[in-house]
Structure 1
Amino acid sequence: MKKILVVDDEFDILTTWRLVLEMEGYEVTTASNGRIALDAAKLSAPDVIITDWMMPHMDGVELIRSLAASDTLNKVPVILMSAAANAPELDHPDARFRRKPLSIDDLLALVADLVNRR
């Protein structure tokens, strides 16, 4: 079973994505900020990370930078989501930016594509 780590500080969004992904057969873990997500990923590397940009303690861009700098996590694909007008520069070999709101179908298609590459 493929593992997905979902990171968002908004409980409703975190819960919705978790339920949707679990219904598709993924094993899903969640984190409420980038710092918690990084610790979770170090314990058990996921197949894909889906993260929000704006969060307390460590935002999504900082999380992506930390993942890219890690010898063990730099190959984990990342989806960064935000309602921000401009996409940030993502220094990661396999990171993608998607603007919110993102449809369930679009997210599932992107996750499936990333999981099937691994």
Structure 2
Amino acid sequence: MQTVLVVDDEFGVAEVVQSILEDEGYRVATAINGKQALARLNEVTPDLIMLDYMMPIMDGTQTLTAIRNNATFAKLPIIMMSSLEEVSVRETATDYDLFLRKPFRAMAVLKAVQQLLEHPPRK
């Protein structure tokens, strides 16, 4: 069973994404900010991370940088999520593998997760 770490400070978003993924047989762990996500990495060893761009304490850009700078987790596929357009997100964050704009449809979430887990961009 593959594990997805969902990092989002909006409880409703994390809960919906968790439900969508669990219904498809994925194991899901959640974190409410980047700092908590980094701690959870060692607990759950995810196969993929869904990372919100705008969060308190440690935002998506800072979290993304910390993950990519950690040799153990640097190659994990990461989906960046935001209500902002991707062009705005790319001003500060570029090292993610796929972008999902909020609000998104359940099928978009599943397609993105399946795509990255079946064809990881980093070896």
TM-score clears 0.5: yes
Verify the 8 A CA contact 2:98 2:112 in the aligned structure 1. no
CA distance in 2, matches of 1:31, 1:8: 6
Displacement of 1:10 in angstroms is: 0.8
Aligned residue number for residue 36 of structure 1: 36
Amino acid in the other structure paired with 1:105: M
CA distance in 1, matches of 2:70, 2:34: 14
CA distance in 1, matches of 2:64, 2:5: 13
Q: Runs ≥4 in structure 1, deviation > 3 angstroms? A: none
Aligned residue number for residue 111 of structure 1: 113
Structure 2: segments with no counterpart, 5+ residues: none
Alignment of 1:77-88 (within 5 A): 77-85=77-85, 86-88=88-90
Displacement of 1:91 in angstroms is: 4.5
The alignment of Structure 1 onto Structure 2 pairs a total of residues equal to 117
Match status 1:90 vs 2:118: no
Amino acid in the other structure paired with 1:39: A
Give 3-state SS (helix, strand or coil) of 1:5's partner. Answer: strand
Structure 1: segments with no counterpart, 5+ residues: none
Amino acid in the other structure paired with 2:98: R
Displacement of 1:103 in angstroms is: 1.3
Aligned residue number for residue 59 of structure 1: 59
Match status 1:13 vs 2:16: no
Displacement of 1:115 in angstroms is: 1.1
CA distance in 1, matches of 2:27, 2:113: 13
The TM-score with structure 1 as length reference comes to 0.91
Amino acid in the other structure paired with 2:68: A
The TM-score with structure 2 as length reference comes to 0.88
Identity %, equivalent residues: 37
Cα-Cα RMSD: 1.4
